[in-house]
Amino acid sequence: MPVPSLPAEPTGSPPRAVGPQEWSAANVPLLGNPREVVTGLYERHRPAAGTVVVGVLDPDERLRASASFTRRAGESDGWVFRNTLLAQLRRVIPHDLRRRTPVRTAVLLHCREGESRWTVEDGAWMWGLRDACTLHGLRCGAYVTLTGAGWQVLGEGRGGRHPQLGSRTTLFVPRTDKVSPLPGQLGPLPEQRAGRTERFGTGTERPEQRTGRAESLTERAAGLLSRPIDAPREQWPRTAVR
């Protein structure tokens, strides 16, 4: 199936942008673990200021594909941003235009200096992300800004300090399959743990029994070492026959 070319920009049209209220009312799907998604994109691309990272997530929020590029200075039109994002998406993952309902989600990480609150340029990137997702058969996902103070999901109010722009290491803790105790369940009390160590199974020896046997073996070894070399066999210390 041939991929359609990028549409040309109409002359004399105003810049395309999305306001913060319009973006909040667009029902953008919420990320279950935004910190893990941001950390995954940051660890993969290590972006600097002025870098834009677009990622495609599976339904279980696993990173399927991603691309990073440096934005051009002085551009703030959503039409230009849409064409740039669409070209990057076509390069890293096939489109899902044959599906009736999109199953994958595209998210955008905008790395910049300054504050993380909404700007006019963010509105243009939001417009470009939403339109590029429509033309590539994806759901339009979260828009995240990454600054020196940390990351912020615009329109949701969620954010964190790590990762942050220019950080070399992150505080990402991978998921584990270890089952944590249920709420309200406490560990055994000290007297319960002591009683548990005093219980022995059938056929096992108590500590005092093992100590007595060790002393008897030591005495027999001392007797063997103290006997003369030429002593008759009858004078050897007798050992217990099992």
Domain ranges of the chain: 20-160
**Mean pLDDT, residues 219-239:** 56
Would you place residue 160 in the very low, low, confident or very high pLDDT band (cuts 50, 70, 90)? very high
Beta-sheet pairing, 139-147 with 158-160: unpaired
The rounded radius of gyration (Å) of the Cα atoms in the chain is: 35
Give whole-number Cα distances, 17 to 135, 153, 221, in Å.
17, 17, 92
Q: Which tens digits make up the pLDDT trace of 1-48? A: 444 454 444 444 456 899 999 999 988 999 999 999 999 999 999 999
- How far apart (Å, rounded) are the C-alpha atoms in residues 198 and 190? 13
User: Which tops the pLDDT comparison, 147 or 183?
Assistant: 147
Tell me which fold the domain 20-160 belongs to. Answer: Cytidine Deaminase; domain 2 (3.40.140)
Q: Which amino acid is at 49?
A: A
**Mean pLDDT, residues 119-125:** 94
In 46-146, which ranges are continuous DSSP H helix?
Answer: 78-92, 120-136
Q: Which amino acid is at 170?
A: T
Residue whose tokens read 């319009």? 22
If one counts every other C-beta atom within 10 angstroms of the C-beta of residue 81, the result is: 27
pLDDT for residue 14: 53
Q: Average pLDDT of the chain?
A: 78
Cβ contacts of 73 within 8 Å, gap of 6 or more = 50
Q: Among 55-59, 199-203, 223-227, which range has the highest average pLDDT?
A: 55-59
Residue 119, phi then psi, degrees to nearest 5: -130, 175
Going by C-alpha positions, the residue among 158, 60, 66 that lies closest to residue 109 is 66
